[in-house]
Amino acid sequence: MPYRADRLVRHATLRQLQVFVAIAKEGSFSKAAERLHLTQPTVSMQVKKLSEAVGEPLFEQIGRKVYLTEVGRIMLDAAQSILDQLALAEGKINELRGVAGGTVRLSVVSTAQYFVPEVIYDFLEEYPDVNVVMEVGNRETLLVRIQKNVDDFYILGQPPEGLRVESHVLANNPLAVVAHCDHPLAQKKGRIKLEALAEAPFLMRERGSGIRKQVEHVFQQQGFEPNIKMVLGGNEAIRLGLRENLGVTVASLPTLIDEIESGEVVVLNVEGFPLMRHWYLAWPEGKALSLASRLLIDRLKQGGAGLDAHIDQLLSDHG
């Protein structure tokens, strides 16, 4: 029987495409079912019907992992494009109605998780029909998500290199050497040379962290070898390590505002610090941002301006 060019139009459904894309992105039928709030048999049946409409298998299972076939990869590009265009159309229709709804997905580096949720909370107070899904990870995790086009936009410590993205500075994120108020270095007056940290136990972020990459680069330039006592995964672990006076570290100041203002953590006056870094908003070039996404981005920019003023005052008072 000759293949008709309109076969998919007649037999494939949007729900099947949605399920197929979810499986491709999650790499798992069970995770896709969980994400879509469906049962696993329902997910399996939807993708089976789509495969029958295509006339070729879309996935192959090797062990416990699911991989796209060559036909599946072609279908993924088409299905994602169709779903993106529908989401864009829905956003434009809502815009004509003067309302914002739908779901906004964003991923942020872990340093931003102390600033972004408050902005999202205020945003949802004004736009209760919008759902916001936020994922937190280190830089390497976000780069993978950008390549897979998982989210609407991202907040990173520096623009991705080698990826075609649009990026904008969101807020300042200075990195400073900090310690517990009872640490011996916290009692020193005047400028502290970097070499003075050589014997102090140092708390280092995990590999894949943007902060670790920046700190290692600066230390290498200065020929400095820190006495790494502990490697801690994430800013929350660093905060706890500081509060227990386990060592000194280089940390993002916005993540320690409460501890610095209370006097529990001290910003050390170390030569070459603070390092001025930024958070960046980024999304793939050509990304069709919904009305809700654009409104949240505008609100984040406003919040970033307020955070900049707060950090400037913090450095003036405690730096």
The mean per-residue pLDDT over the stretch 288-311 comes to 90
Q: What is the pLDDT of residues 163-222, one digit of tens each?
A: 889 999 999 999 999 999 999 999 888 899 999 999 899 999 888 888 888 889 999 998
Q: With 90 as the cut, is the pLDDT of residue 316 above it?
A: no
Helical (H) or strand (E) element with 238: helix 235-243
| DSSP bridge pairs for 171 | 279
DSSP state at residue 2:
P
Q: With 90 as the cut, is the pLDDT of residue 160 above it?
A: no
State percent of the chain over pLDDT 90.
49
Q: Does domain 175-267 fall into CATH 3.40.50.300?
A: no
Fold of 7-80: Arc Repressor Mutant, subunit A (1.10.10)
Residue 311 token pair = 């950090």
Indicate the domain borders of the chain: 7-80, 101-172+278-318, 175-267
pLDDT at residue 1, rounded to an integer: 43
Cβ neighbours, 10 Å, residue 79 = 23
Q: What is the pLDDT of residues 214-251, one digit of tens each?
A: 889 999 998 999 999 899 887 888 889 999 999 999 99
Convert 138-170 into a string of H (helix), E (strand) and C (coil): CHHHHHHHHHCCCCCEEEECCCCCCCCEEEEEE
Pick the CATH number of 101-172+278-318 from 3.40.190.10, 1.10.3720.10, 3.90.1150.10, 3.40.980.10: 3.40.190.10
pLDDT at residue 97, rounded to an integer: 59
Higher pLDDT: 291 or 319? It is 291
DSSP state at residue 4:
P
- Two domains, one topology: 101-172+278-318 and 175-267: yes
Q: What is the pLDDT of residues 249-299, one digit of tens each?
A: 999 899 899 999 999 999 999 988 998 889 999 999 888 888 889 999 999
**Dihedral over alpha carbons 271, 277, 114, 200 (to 10 degrees):** -30
User: What amino acid occupies position 39?
Assistant: T
| Residue 106 · residue 154 · CB < 8 Å | yes
Higher pLDDT: 6 or 97? It is 6
Q: With 60 as the cut, is the pLDDT of residue 56 above it?
A: yes
pLDDT at residue 319, rounded to an integer: 66
What is the reported pTM? Answer: 0.65
